[in-house]
Chain A
Amino acid sequence: MVSKGLGCLMVTVVVCNIFAAAASLALMAVAIWVVVDAYKLYPISAGSGKTDIFAAAWIAIFTGFAFFVTCLFGIFAALKRSRGLMLTYLIIMFIIFIFECASAITAVTNRDYLVGNSNLVKQQMLQNYAADTTQGKQITDTWNKVMQDVQCCGTDGPKDWIDFQSTYQSTFGTSYPWPPNCCKKLSNSEVANPTNCRLGQNTDLFTKGCFQYIESMLSRYVWVISWYGFAVLMFVFFMLLLAMVYYTQLD
């Protein structure tokens, strides 16, 4: 009877480890997707000096893989019914658990810092757009791409460029108040109607701000790392409790 109960517990631990291995491999895969930065927003994060979202993704790659390997080891340890191996498995899983917790918490905290409101992104844009530094060039290229692809201008709107001083204004003067990438362009990349865009006609000037797009894309990265990481951690938490119970039942 006791042996049957232990057998059931063993099977449960093994099955849970199989699911955890698959889930953590998926965590590794999505973390790789975040690191690859499909939306090319890393310079905006780097401009603020806080790239913790991507640091958390790097941690998640390693913890995801480590969870995968350790879960396979856990299956072996459970089938072997070895106390020593189960204890080793539990200690290693706990260490990886702590690192993955750090990754999830870091990602969501940095998201709040970076895109909780538009102030930081706006300040970085005004400071670094058209700046003659390496970081400035990267940020300029990123903003140019976003403004044309998403058809937006500035952080909260084109008025950012005229309500605040900016490096762009210091460099190019006020004859053209906003960058040309705020204007509708022809297929040959020339501004369609420079006069109308200069006057601020909404037929030729993009009037919506880019912050909503930047915030939603960075949030996608964060939800992947923090919420999916959280889900994996909760599953692993209950699995480890079960494994601890199994350990206590072993001879």
Chain B
Amino acid sequence: MLAVLFIMGTLCPLNFAALDISLMNPQSDGVLTGIFSDAFLLRLPDCTSYGNKMANLLYQEFSGNQNNTKSFVVPTCNDIQSKQGYLLNNLKTGTKYSMWYNIKNDTSLPLTDTTTTVSDFRQIKGGLQARSGAMVVITVILSVAMAVLLAGLIFLLAFSFR
């Protein structure tokens, strides 16, 4: 049975191998993020199956119908240093996109994601949010000390002029 399965496996042509598309993520790929405000960082196609082949990355706005394509050569497994990705940039901020790879006769399932929005730094609320304990302690104790000394000094002046 095992021999039969093994023979069937060797007869299967390589173009039935799955072509995946996914974003790089901080936990498994050691990158900061896979989603930028104007770009996506995608994992490269598998180098063992598609190394040195021309890959097409097709993408379009989710609500649009204009197809865009970017082409690149998938690096071989020898060429890949650490975990490089493919940066799909020049996208619109806060927009949903669909993306998929196409290499010869293989097409991946579409990946859908939204670019992040960018906030205005003027909206960041700076300034005194809360008073720390140190400030309260120092202010209170020193104010009391000043008041006591002032009272003592006034008493002394009254005492000396009596």
Q: Which residues of A contact B125 (CB under 8 A)?
A: 119
Stretch at the interface among A30-38, A71-79, A140-148, A202-210: A202-210
Using CB atoms, name the residue of chain A closest to B41. A199
Is B94 an interface position by the 8 A CB rule? no
Closest CB in chain A relative to B125 CB, distance in Å: 6
Is B159 an interface position by the 8 A CB rule? yes
Most chain A C-beta atoms within 10 Å of own C-beta, residue among B87, B125, B143, B156 = B156
Q: How many CB-defined contacts (below 8 Å) exist between A and B?
A: 144
* A contact residues, total (Cβ < 8 Å): 56
Is A98 an interface position by the 8 A CB rule? yes
Residue interface mask A220-251, B partner, CB < 8 A = 1:
00000011001001100100110010011000
Closest CB in chain B relative to A88 CB, distance in Å: 12
Contact B84 A199 (CB under 8 A): yes
Using CB atoms, name the residue of chain B closest to A247. B156
Q: Which residues of B contact A196 (CB under 8 A)?
A: 81-82, 84
Interface of A is mostly: helix
Contact B149 A199 (CB under 8 A): no
Contact A116 B132 (CB under 8 A): yes
Is B160 an interface position by the 8 A CB rule? yes
Residue interface mask B99-127, A partner, CB < 8 A = 1:
00000000000000000101111101111
Q: A104-B142, A241-B148 are in contact. List 14 more A-B contacts (CB 8 A).
A: A90-B153, A90-B156, A105-B139, A108-B138, A109-B135, A112-B132, A112-B135, A159-B32, A163-B119, A200-B33, A203-B30, A230-B142, A241-B149, A247-B156
Q: Which 10 residue pairs spanning A and B have beta carbons closest together?
A: A200-B32, A120-B126, A126-B121, A123-B124, A101-B142, A200-B31, A108-B135, A164-B121, A119-B126, A202-B30
